[in-house]
Structure 1
């Protein structure tokens, strides 16, 4: 009986990525839906500066919050909820709740073309995924399973090995 429960739990964990929650809210499902961005007439330079400030403020508010699988509050948050909240609070954009669906949003970009606000994805297991938000100079913010909400480097041996892809959702 206990082995069956553990097996079910492991199956759920490895098939849902960072989170098991599924949201019924409407969210961005394609890159074409992003025509009404928060800064439609602003120059890219101004937009990036504003984006930097918004993400910096969001990070300051959440820095150090512990990781909790399926969590979405300051008592504990997982990576996909952290990204979802960052986009909603900083840019008033709704993203899907899980990495399973977040990686389908936006436009694929090469690692060497990463820009502030891009989503970076990692394959961390057979069917598990991790997501963060790219900042600059190879750094990204995310909810780490071991350290909570932190800023890490893509050049870190672990993240370099598990890097999967990047998507652009903003501008």
Structure 2
């Protein structure tokens, strides 16, 4: 039986894993619900405690919940619906690897194994897709400019032809 909030959480995370970013399309099916604070550690089924997650991230995270020593050392999982992930983790666009900017970011990447080869390949494929889309956009823009140039040249040619033949240029 599904959680009552399954569809809402699924839409909140746009059908992608809140931790690693793979989508339902990428994995070929629905993902799972993760309790950010595990029920074993007193977590609830409340909206803000649920994260749409792929099976791997959910497994790697498991029932981890930081104790006071973990927190003091920055060992905690970043909450994708609350934390500013970009303040803790950066993607190397050339290699597809994630790098921690803070002890929390380093721990987050390590615990969830966010540099596993499949995710690195996924990030590189996403980057390539963005590059292709930008190239298409630039080519479409260039094509539009060339069409304007052709139209202007055709008008100029019509004017020259009209002058050479002594006729009035057509509109």
TM-score, normalised relative to structure 2: 0.27
Larger RCO, structures 1/2 (Cα 8 Å, 6+ apart) = 1
Indicate the structure with greater strand content.
1
- State the structure with more CA Rg: 2
TM-score, normalised relative to structure 1: 0.27
